Amino acid sequence: MDTAETIIDDNGGEWKEVLAGDNKDYLEVLSEYESPDQFLQEFQSARNQDWRDPIAGDDLKFKSQLERFKSPADFGNAFRESQQKIRSGQFREPLGPDATEQDIAAYRQQNGIPSDPNGYLDNLPENLVVGEDDKEIMGDFMSALHEVNAPPEVAHKAIEWYNQFAEQQQEQLAEMDSSHHQESEDYLRREWGGDYRQNVNLISAFIEKTFPAEVKDSLLNARDPSGRAIMNIPGVMESFAEMARANLHPMALPGQTNDPRQTVEDEISEIEDVMKNDRARYNKDEKMQERLRELYRIRIKHGST
């Protein structure tokens, strides 16, 4: 009788020895089966069975998690890696709701979390800084992170994101201001024509004369609900021009000097003096020439001689 016949027909156990050979462990496993048919049926059933079923049992959620792994070997490797991380201290049991102050202090020490929120700002990574203007908001931010025991690397990443966000906001604001200023200037030049520069100077003189320094700064930096600087709103500039003309003497216009009270005639005299005594300087200074022409127009318009 050949080997195949021995495996199929012999019920005396010789088929187990043929399959197991000299491997005692195999022979011990086969000893649980009464016939080759029983062994082959169970083998076929096991081969067709999803390897996850015996592990998960009736736990469908666990089985769904096991489906992330392609084979038992992948699952085994992942399990081994997680055990190594647990033993190395990378995974620590989180604090419970009833943790005492001593528990919290110990947990922070074990996980490298500073004992004080300001500790997050110590030893910042290279090129990561917190500006003076941001320290107050960062103090509140770090306190919130400290309450949930965030690791330092999380706090540092948050600071990095905030700095990038703030920088982008400033760049966008500068671009918006530049665009709005150009739009406002284009509109007012069309509306005011040759009086544009005169009206702008009148507004500057009116604000300088009317408002205290701290109020003036707030006014000049104010924005409407959409974020547009109010001094870039044509309607605001037109209103200021009307108020300036109603409250300032028409000849008390600010020029290219630091004294907004200087009269048009005084400024004309100064520029004419430069024109007469330092012609080369006057000829090179196009702004001075344009200013003199503007002052002449103002004098004619208001009947000054």
| pLDDT one-digit tens code per residue, 205-251 | 889 888 998 898 999 999 999 999 999 999 999 999 888 877 765 55
Q: How far is CA 7 from the centre of its chain?
A: 72
Q: What pLDDT is attached to residue 305?
A: 43
Within-domain flag for 7: yes
Within-domain flag for 223: no
- What predicted TM-score, i.e. pTM, was given to this entire model? 0.46
Long-range contact pairs involving 187-195 (C-beta distance under 8 Å, separation at least 24): 187/234, 188/234, 188/237, 188/238, 191/234, 191/238, 192/241, 194/297
Q: From 123, 142, 165, give the residue that closes a domain.
A: 165
For residues 109-117, average pLDDT: 86
Q: What pLDDT is attached to residue 254?
A: 47
Answer whether residue 6 shows pLDDT above 50. no
Mean of the per-residue pLDDT values of the chain: 80
Residue 297 has φ and ψ, to the nearest 5°, of -65, -40
Q: What pLDDT is attached to residue 10?
A: 46
Q: Are residues 107 and 53 both part of a single domain? A: no
Number of domains present in the structure of the chain: 3
Answer whether residue 201 shows pLDDT above 60. yes
Q: From 34, 60, 88, give the residue that closes a domain.
A: 88
Answer whether residue 98 shows pLDDT above 80. no
Nearest to 155 by CA among 164, 163, 165, 145: 145
Amino acid found at 126 = E
Within-domain flag for 212: no
